[in-house]
Structure 1
Amino acid sequence: MLIKEIQELVEALAKSNDLENFDKKLVDRLQNQFAHRMGDDKFTKNDLKIVKLIFQDRWQAVIDTPYDYMQNMQGINQIWIGIARLLAKENPSLTVIQLLCPTVKNMRDSNNFSLLANISDFTHLYLGDDDQSVYELSGFIKHLIRAKDQLSTYSSNFKQLRAVTVKELARIHRSHNTKNVLFINKVRYQNAWAYLNKQLFPKLQVKGEIPAHLFPSFLELIKLYFDACSKTVSFNQFKQSFLSWLKHLMQCPIDDVNAFYGVVLNFKQQKKYMLELLIDIHNAKDFTLAEHFLTIGQYLNQFNPAYVLYEEKSLLPVYQKLQTGPYFSLKKFIQLVHKLNANESELIKEKIAELLCIAEEVGEISELLIQKLSEIYSMRWTCIKASEKDYTRMPFGENESWIRLAQYLAGSKKIPANYYRFIMPTLRQDVEPVFSCLITDYPLSHFILSEDETQLILLDVCVCNHKTNGTFRYCREEKLVSLTQIELLRLPFAARQFISYYERCVLKEQIQVPVSLKTLEEVRVLVNGSFYSKGLSYLGEYNAKEYRTSAIAYQRFYEYYSKMNPVEKKALNQQRIVYNGVEKTFKDLLKEVEDNECITSAALYFAQFVMDYAPYFKFSNELEKNIKVDVNTMRKNSAQLIPSDYEVLSQKEAKERCLLIFISLLTVSLPAFMFKNIEFWDLHRKVNDRVKHVFDLILPMVENNDFRDSRFIYARIMEEHIKPLIEENGGLLSRLCSSNPLKLWSLNVKENRPLDFKYSLLELEHILQFLFFLRTHPSYKQLKLDDIIDELIKIGAQEHSSLEKYIRANIAFVNYLNGSSPEIRSEWMDLLADFQYEFVKKDFFSQCLTYIENRLNLIKQDSGKRFLFLWDKKPRLAFVFPPQLSIDICASSNFCEFIMRLKQSLHKEELDLTDKDISHMTDYLRSLDCPILTPSQAREESWENKSDYFSAMLEGNV
């Protein structure tokens, strides 16, 4: 590249009439670098370094401004983009987006895996929250459709789903100024924001719970804003506090964030979503937000009338309109008292009638009136505490009118701010000691009542403590204490998120000595013989036959129980079983049955116990098909315990066995009668229903790279599927397949060799080094190894997790081995066993480079033969990279960087390559790092290509 090419563009910049101050300074720097240079001078590395610094400074100046490339590609930006394209053309290792936006690190879109380098119109992109990730708008919309209208996005690791931040929404919102028309389900939308506004935002509140615990701090934000308006604090201080609040919002579950975003507000006589007001606040640079905060302040007060800012005069008209705070009147008080639901007691109804009479007499909300009301609340609390009508168990329904009245009174300062103590007079607590906040900052569904009824236990603290210290405890009298048995019994009535966390994370960690599958089978038989649906009804009794059957079942079980190994018997007695959130031990349940307690209840606990170990065990139709028992939920709540039969199996060994089974399902030929489809990455095949079940058990562990349950899953695969397959001797499958390959595969799995030969999983680099060794071995030079090596390098260059590449590499190698003769395969396995593998990154890439040089050399020779005339007797020289260049290439940290450096190096003058050589070699290298698409992505890409073709036809461009 010559200097004159960039001089022309710099001159065009200098002549522009719409230069901002930052652009004027940047143009001056460009002119200082290039104006005095000769046009025929070459553009050097130092020139590139300086221009990249200038691009970096400009990017920092234009982010989220009218000059942001993702909002505007016209005017002065068009020239800057032209410079970037010129440099990218001359430097294949650089992309236009990397030059224009140097903070951007991702090469692919996290939502649809598309290459960002292929996008020429930057208004189709938006910048992520971290300012380091770029997303494609169309890919984002497609993800939302796949996510069934959950407003979410994938983080840069391609795995973790998270909420879309206000900062990102603000950037997407700016795209409404562009004309990026979208067609979704044959409907035309002007741009991405138009689609979101019409199709997605109205559905944001379908799931989730509004994170009300953040509202008190948002009320403080409103106060801070109006303080900033009066110059008490600066606007920047307010803005930093707002951004900090948004970070707390992002820590909430995705559906809860969306529920808040989807709140509908009446803003300036127009329907607006909360997220739109948040975007305006985020974008604001000065004091133009009064109307926004008045609208949100009104919403907060409507949500909870205790949320009142007395100091802020701007909000007084809002409170006057809502009759809250200082404008809470006797008339409003009487209206609310009339709404109180008092079905618990006739005495409470009489007291309410007396209260209304006193209210009419005194003509104001007097201390006497509050005293009488307090007595009514106290009477009601005595009736409902620790019952199904406890405020912490039922914050809505019958209790809502009582809570609402207390909120109005707290907001008007007729009672203390902690109105929880007013409605629950036994409480002696105002502040949550760990989070140092008023207990009223959190919704009642986040609490359970302490055993002595003097404290509300904030379950957020218990969860936080468990995540930090591994103990599910709360703070009481400056000490961390565990929940008592009574408090644990109250846990199932709290918000679902806490029940789920406790069952999933806490109960699972409580270590128990396991029992055997034989014992589980005996308990299953006991359940089948003792459970009858009559026992589920109040006062329902078994008939004589059912009693006799139950007695026989218990007699049979006790015969087994009395002969049990003492160690296992002790383990069985100590088994903790949680059913409907209530925990009991196996021994306690036997004692209850002996004391003539409910046999049906014990049977349900015993069934849950069996399912905790083996959710695949089936029970009698009396239980399985009983509409009063949610057997599916019982199975989902399985504690996933490991039977003692598999106790010796380590997690590491179970993981490897599961992965070998997973690989075998994608490589071994199995019958597919009544087939189902299985997919992994780019691979898919048809299998029968049972094999599909095995695949589906392993796939979630692979997708999440989480093998903590591998022992449980492996035991389930063996007991639920493999052993039954081995025991099946007849049936349709055997008649259709005389050799019965499925049974043969099952036997191999049982012997821990699910492939047709003994195989141990290998790292991708291990396989490659072994193949490099074979290429140089005299006995194997005739083997065609290039295709499998190319495939493995391509797998290594993918932006997938290391586990997925590990599995995919082993599948590729196994497929290659399956295509070899049994003799070759056996010989290779012996060689592999003796092969000394030691991974040193630099040495490894040196071996890769030797291989690539060989491949490029063949390409060069092939290219030369096409144009070699008979009289041209000059031989073409062998292609090798010079020593220093080889060192630079081998310093790569991964396959992507290795291939990128290879592409870049082809343009070096010392290689003396023709343009045709470079083109053919580049095509080969591109084949090594192009994306390996999933079947759905391949279909989608094919469809998009066809759509583009037909669109071009309609426009007359084809």
Structure 2
Amino acid sequence: MLIKEIQELVEVLAKSNDLENFDKKLVDRLQNQFAHRMGDDKFTKNDLKIVKLIFQDRWQTVIDTPYDYMQNMQGINQIWIGIARLLTKENPSLTVIQLLCPTVKNTRDSNNFSLLANISDFTHLYLGDDDQSVYELSGFIKHLIRAKDQLSTYSSNFKQLRAVTVKELARIHRSHNTKNVLFINKVRYQNAWAYLNKQLFPKLQAKGEIPAHLFPSFLELIKLYFDACSKTASFIQFKQQFLSWLKHLMQCPIDDVNAFYGVVLNFKQQKKYMLELLIDIHNAKDFTLAEHFLTIGQYLNQFNPAYVLHEEKSLLSVYQKLQTGPYFSLKKFMQLVNKLNANESELIKEKIAELLCIAEEVGEISGLLIQKLSEIYSMRWTCIKASEKDYTRMPFGENESWIRLAQYLAGAKKIPANYYRFIMPTLRQDVEPVFSCLITDYPLSHFILSEDETQLILLDVCVCNHKTNGTFRYCREEKLVSLTQIELLRLPFADRQFISYYDRCVLKEQMQIPVSLKTLEEVRVLVNGSFYSKGLSYLGEYNAKEYRTSAIAYQRFYEYYSKINPVEKEALNQQRIVYNGVEKTFKDLLKEVEDNECITSAALYFAQFVMDYAPYFKFSNELEKNIKVDVDTMRKNSAQLIPSDYEVLSQKEAKERCLLIFISLLTVSLPAFVFKNIEFWDLHRKVNDRVKHIFDLILPMVENNDFRNSRFIYARIMEEHIKPLIEENGGLLSRLCSSNPLKLWSLNVKENRPLDFKYSLLELEHILQFLFFLRTHPSYKQLKLDDIIDELIKIGTQEHSSLEKYIRANIAFVNYLNGSSPEISEWMDLLADFQYEFVKKDFFFQCLTYIENRLNLIKQDSGKRFLFLWDKKPRLTFVFPPQLSIDICASSNFCEFIMRLKQSLHKEELDLTDKDISHMTDYLRSLDCPILTPSQAREESWENKSDYFSAMLEGNV
């Protein structure tokens, strides 16, 4: 392609009358690159790289604006699209959508697998929540039809269904401005949103349960909004809190999210769905949402009359209309008392009648009235607790009127906010200790009553703990405890999601008690002594020697079997083994052998049993090299069970240990003579074969951020590699070295200190805050901390998973610790004493203070190579004004933080010269430029050399 082709399109752009300021700057950059070039010059890879950067900057500017390509392909956008199409003709590996929208990673639609490169009209697309995935609107609609009207979408890995986010709904909603007509079942719809509004939204509440546990925090959002309005606070800060709340909503089951989306509201005398109000809030740029929050506040109060904001004057008219909160009257009180269902006891009916008489006499909701009502609730609780009418088992029906009255009273401040204790007087609990929230934040269907009837056990905590640590436990008196037998019997009466989870995930694990490594070894020996290939043939029989060897093997095993403790024996007997699709228990197999059934068949089952726990165990050559037995498949089919020796290890602890080993492999020196390469992100090392095997066991968990098998992997690492390494003499390496580094490392791993010092993994923000603290501490000013801080900020800006950044940050910190002057023990003492508390806004203010310091050095000596000046103490002549600092620090992540910093340098109030801005921008770019993998670095190096030689040949150098 020749330069003149791009010059023509740039000229058309420059002459356009409707250029916005951001486009004018981009056009200037294009002209600076191409205007002075000869038309017959060739378009180089370096040219393409610069143009891609310009497209990238434009995309970041136009997302979710009228200039978004997925909303508008006309006007100035048409010219930009034309440039993209011209460039992709010459670069077949690059698609138009990838050039226009560089953040987009997927090449196929996750919902229908269609190629995105085949779509020429981008208004048929919408951008996913992560800003990295694009979906086709028609494919989305087809998926919804297949999903039987469940509002959902596939994640970018094509595997997992998830709820559609408000951000995505907002983008789909914008498509109603386009005329993308759809025909579905021969019915014409103006666009995708028209179909959703007519066919899907009315059905959203058919399934699922409204996630009421999020309502108290939404009530706080409403309060925050009106407070911010009255104090003229930053709308950005409020918006961040709202987006944070939406993230919590997305953690709920799909059907529960949809049930909330489908709530019908009366908004400005019109029927609106909750999702429509959420979209308006999401899109808002300023405080114009009072009607929205009044409407949602009214809905919350109708849902639960305890949800009252007493100090918020804007909502008083709502509470007056609903007779709740400060407007809860004696008349309303008596109406609710009259509705109480008291079929359990004639005495309770009599007490209710007495209460109504007292109410008429006193003429107000007095303390005496509340005391009498409390006695009635206590009498009723005595009758119904732990029965089918228990409030946790029946939050609706007969109990609804009792719960509703308590909610009204709590909202009116006539009883404490924790009205669960009012209706269940044996409770001694106000706060759920793990989630640190009032127990009334969660619906009663999410609880079961503890055996002693003093505590409500939140089943969400049990599920969360099981997912994290592999144990279905709750917190009692600051300890995690399992459910008692009586509490387990109450579980089937809770919400169906917990019953389903327990049956699907917990029972499956609990039904099979693990066996020990010692038992596995004994079974392995039994297999080696009893398996012979003759037994695989039809009518094949063992010879006398083979029978004798098999008999000795079984005799030896039975000696062990008779002596093991009863728990281990019962666990062994109950082991379920699946071989070739047929399941048998260990006890059944022993019985078959005693009944003269096939010994070889039993041996194969026993071998599969051993591999289910320890696929790394080796067997005799008779089995391992037998062409009739697919041993490799048997190992691949391992059930990945955890031996009882490692049962006490939680999934969380196993994950941390695996990650520490992973980090040590990339930081600890482990010399070897036969090298294998290991790579993680930009790091690569040469290690021996055994170390690479350990690395390869952990790497898939890291890449997929899936540590559900971390206990199994850790046990395997310890048994297959670490213990043998400790027991080995070390071979040639140990004879040449005074000490064997690999053996020393293995001993450290066994002691759970693979880095040679006790180290706990830290969040990136934790490390940075610690280093910021040291940087200002008089005793540690001699430390050169700026390079490590810059490296950590750069890691934070990368487009990698949070786990990868977490690991890479710890690697960087460990490397710094190993190369710094204080002793490691001193560092660990400092870390232990450091009080860490992460608040995003405050954290970014600390980052800003640090970067201000760096930028001052650049400003003071912008004529020199500032990268060599960091040891100087800057004179603070340059600071960001307060409001600008607040705007910068309202960032949600490192990328946004650096981007806002770059943009702020052009503000007039900073009074910076062009040279200052250029040098400062260079520094900030060094903080968010990509950290390349070794292969990417090699490819970029080769491209740079190729462009240089091309330029030489053309005479441009």
TM-score tier by shorter-chain length is 0.5 to 0.7
- Change in 2 beyond 3 A, CA 1:304/1:81: same
Deviation at residue 666 of structure 1 after TM alignment: 44
CA-to-partner distance for each residue in 1:667-713, whole Å, 9 max, x for gaps? 99999999999999999999999999999999999999999999999
SS in structure 1 opposite 2:58?
helix
CA-to-partner distance for each residue in 1:388-420, whole Å, 9 max, x for gaps? 111111111110000000000000001010000
Partner of 2:781: 781
Deviation at residue 271 of structure 1 after TM alignment: 0.7
Is 2:535 the partner of 1:545?
no
Partner of 1:223: 223
Deviation at residue 42 of structure 1 after TM alignment: 2.1
Partner of 2:895: 896
- Change in 2 beyond 3 A, CA 1:252/1:373: same
**Is the CA contact 1:488–1:582 (under 8 Å) kept in the aligned structure 2?**
no
- Change in 2 beyond 3 A, CA 1:702/1:312: closer
- Change in 2 beyond 3 A, CA 1:72/1:329: same
Give the whole-Å Cα distance in 2 for the aligned partners of 1:368 and 1:841. Answer: 48
Give the whole-Å Cα distance in 2 for the aligned partners of 1:745 and 1:229. Answer: 59
CA-to-partner distance for each residue in 1:741-770, whole Å, 9 max, x for gaps? 999999999999999999999999999999
- Change in 2 beyond 3 A, CA 1:610/1:761: same
- Change in 2 beyond 3 A, CA 1:659/1:893: same
Deviation at residue 433 of structure 1 after TM alignment: 1.1
SS in structure 1 opposite 2:457?
strand
Deviation at residue 516 of structure 1 after TM alignment: 19
SS in structure 2 opposite 1:707?
coil
CA-to-partner distance for each residue in 1:348-401, whole Å, 9 max, x for gaps? 000001111111111111111111100100000010011111111111111000
Give the whole-Å Cα distance in 2 for the aligned partners of 1:442 and 1:488. Answer: 20
Give the whole-Å Cα distance in 1 for the aligned partners of 2:839 and 2:419. Answer: 66
Bigger mean CA offset, 756-765 vs 362-371: 756-765
State the Cα RMSD in Å: 18.5
Give the whole-Å Cα distance in 1 for the aligned partners of 2:631 and 2:606. Answer: 13
**Is the CA contact 1:92–1:904 (under 8 Å) kept in the aligned structure 2?**
no
**Is the CA contact 1:492–1:581 (under 8 Å) kept in the aligned structure 2?**
no
**Is the CA contact 2:237–2:890 (under 8 Å) kept in the aligned structure 1?**
no
Gaps of 5+ in 2: none
- Change in 2 beyond 3 A, CA 1:345/1:573: farther
**Is the CA contact 2:377–2:424 (under 8 Å) kept in the aligned structure 1?**
yes
Give the whole-Å Cα distance in 2 for the aligned partners of 1:779 and 1:419. Answer: 54
**Is the CA contact 2:857–2:866 (under 8 Å) kept in the aligned structure 1?**
no
SS in structure 2 opposite 1:205?
helix
Deviation at residue 486 of structure 1 after TM alignment: 1.4
**Is the CA contact 1:110–1:157 (under 8 Å) kept in the aligned structure 2?**
yes
Give the whole-Å Cα distance in 1 for the aligned partners of 2:449 and 2:874. Answer: 90
Give the whole-Å Cα distance in 2 for the aligned partners of 1:382 and 1:14. Answer: 82
- Change in 2 beyond 3 A, CA 1:412/1:588: farther
Bigger mean CA offset, 650-659 vs 938-947: 938-947
**Is the CA contact 1:70–1:122 (under 8 Å) kept in the aligned structure 2?**
yes
Deviation at residue 664 of structure 1 after TM alignment: 44
Give the whole-Å Cα distance in 1 for the aligned partners of 2:129 and 2:174. Answer: 15
Deviation at residue 120 of structure 1 after TM alignment: 0.4
Partner of 1:474: 474
CA-to-partner distance for each residue in 1:713-758, whole Å, 9 max, x for gaps? 9999999999999999999999999999999999999999999999
Bigger mean CA offset, 440-449 vs 870-879: 870-879
Gaps of 5+ in 1: none
- Change in 2 beyond 3 A, CA 1:180/1:915: farther
Count of residues in Structure 1 that have an aligned counterpart in Structure 2: 957
SS in structure 2 opposite 1:863?
coil
**Is the CA contact 2:469–2:650 (under 8 Å) kept in the aligned structure 1?**
no
Partner of 1:839: 838
CA-to-partner distance for each residue in 1:448-502, whole Å, 9 max, x for gaps? 1111111111111111112222222211111222222211111111111112222
- Change in 2 beyond 3 A, CA 1:887/1:44: farther
Bigger mean CA offset, 441-450 vs 707-716: 707-716
Deviation at residue 582 of structure 1 after TM alignment: 29
- Change in 2 beyond 3 A, CA 1:955/1:451: farther
SS in structure 1 opposite 2:823?
helix
Give the whole-Å Cα distance in 2 for the aligned partners of 1:409 and 1:658. Answer: 52
Bigger mean CA offset, 7-16 vs 849-858: 849-858
Give the whole-Å Cα distance in 1 for the aligned partners of 2:778 and 2:821. Answer: 19
**Is the CA contact 2:470–2:650 (under 8 Å) kept in the aligned structure 1?**
no
- Change in 2 beyond 3 A, CA 1:552/1:52: closer
CA-to-partner distance for each residue in 1:2-56, whole Å, 9 max, x for gaps? 2221122111111111111101111111122222222222222222121111111
**Is the CA contact 1:531–1:599 (under 8 Å) kept in the aligned structure 2?**
yes
- Change in 2 beyond 3 A, CA 1:822/1:430: closer
CA-to-partner distance for each residue in 1:430-450, whole Å, 9 max, x for gaps? 111111111101111111111
Give the whole-Å Cα distance in 1 for the aligned partners of 2:232 and 2:848. Answer: 65
Deviation at residue 94 of structure 1 after TM alignment: 1.1
- Change in 2 beyond 3 A, CA 1:505/1:649: closer
Partner of 1:401: 401
Bigger mean CA offset, 759-768 vs 115-124: 759-768
SS in structure 1 opposite 2:333?
helix
**Is the CA contact 2:384–2:390 (under 8 Å) kept in the aligned structure 1?**
yes
Give the whole-Å Cα distance in 1 for the aligned partners of 2:431 and 2:664. Answer: 58
Deviation at residue 162 of structure 1 after TM alignment: 0.6
**Is the CA contact 2:340–2:401 (under 8 Å) kept in the aligned structure 1?**
yes
Give the whole-Å Cα distance in 2 for the aligned partners of 1:249 and 1:121. Answer: 33
- Change in 2 beyond 3 A, CA 1:53/1:527: closer
- Change in 2 beyond 3 A, CA 1:303/1:686: farther
Bigger mean CA offset, 653-662 vs 743-752: 743-752
Bigger mean CA offset, 47-56 vs 406-415: 47-56
SS in structure 2 opposite 1:123?
helix
**Is the CA contact 1:56–1:101 (under 8 Å) kept in the aligned structure 2?**
yes
Give the whole-Å Cα distance in 2 for the aligned partners of 1:913 and 1:410. Answer: 58
Deviation at residue 547 of structure 1 after TM alignment: 47
Bigger mean CA offset, 694-703 vs 670-679: 670-679
CA-to-partner distance for each residue in 1:893-941, whole Å, 9 max, x for gaps? 9999999999999999999999999999999999999999999999999
**Is the CA contact 1:450–1:487 (under 8 Å) kept in the aligned structure 2?**
yes
- Change in 2 beyond 3 A, CA 1:943/1:385: farther
When normalised by structure 1's length, the TM-score is 0.57
**Is the CA contact 2:46–2:947 (under 8 Å) kept in the aligned structure 1?**
no
SS in structure 2 opposite 1:678?
strand
**Is the CA contact 1:260–1:274 (under 8 Å) kept in the aligned structure 2?**
yes
SS in structure 2 opposite 1:271?
strand
Give the whole-Å Cα distance in 2 for the aligned partners of 1:626 and 1:324. Answer: 79
CA-to-partner distance for each residue in 1:258-313, whole Å, 9 max, x for gaps? 11111111111111111010000000000111000000000000000000011111
**Is the CA contact 1:430–1:438 (under 8 Å) kept in the aligned structure 2?**
yes
Give the whole-Å Cα distance in 1 for the aligned partners of 2:742 and 2:704. Answer: 28
SS in structure 2 opposite 1:149?
coil
Bigger mean CA offset, 869-878 vs 885-894: 869-878
Give the whole-Å Cα distance in 2 for the aligned partners of 1:545 and 1:357. Answer: 98
- Change in 2 beyond 3 A, CA 1:624/1:592: same
Give the whole-Å Cα distance in 1 for the aligned partners of 2:98 and 2:23. Answer: 19
Bigger mean CA offset, 506-515 vs 296-305: 506-515
Alignment identity in percent?
97
Give the whole-Å Cα distance in 1 for the aligned partners of 2:913 and 2:232. Answer: 70
Give the whole-Å Cα distance in 2 for the aligned partners of 1:773 and 1:141. Answer: 53
Give the whole-Å Cα distance in 1 for the aligned partners of 2:611 and 2:580. Answer: 14
**Is the CA contact 1:614–1:716 (under 8 Å) kept in the aligned structure 2?**
yes
- Change in 2 beyond 3 A, CA 1:456/1:539: farther
**Is the CA contact 1:489–1:582 (under 8 Å) kept in the aligned structure 2?**
no
CA-to-partner distance for each residue in 1:489-547, whole Å, 9 max, x for gaps? 11111111112222222222226469999999999999999999999999999999999
Deviation at residue 234 of structure 1 after TM alignment: 1.2
- Change in 2 beyond 3 A, CA 1:685/1:220: closer
- Change in 2 beyond 3 A, CA 1:167/1:647: closer
Give the whole-Å Cα distance in 2 for the aligned partners of 1:360 and 1:884. Answer: 59
Give the whole-Å Cα distance in 2 for the aligned partners of 1:388 and 1:600. Answer: 54
Give the whole-Å Cα distance in 2 for the aligned partners of 1:632 and 1:467. Answer: 30
SS in structure 1 opposite 2:198?
helix
**Is the CA contact 2:470–2:651 (under 8 Å) kept in the aligned structure 1?**
no
**Is the CA contact 1:342–1:349 (under 8 Å) kept in the aligned structure 2?**
yes
Bigger mean CA offset, 807-816 vs 238-247: 807-816
Bigger mean CA offset, 227-236 vs 852-861: 852-861
Bigger mean CA offset, 617-626 vs 201-210: 617-626
Give the whole-Å Cα distance in 2 for the aligned partners of 1:900 and 1:713. Answer: 40
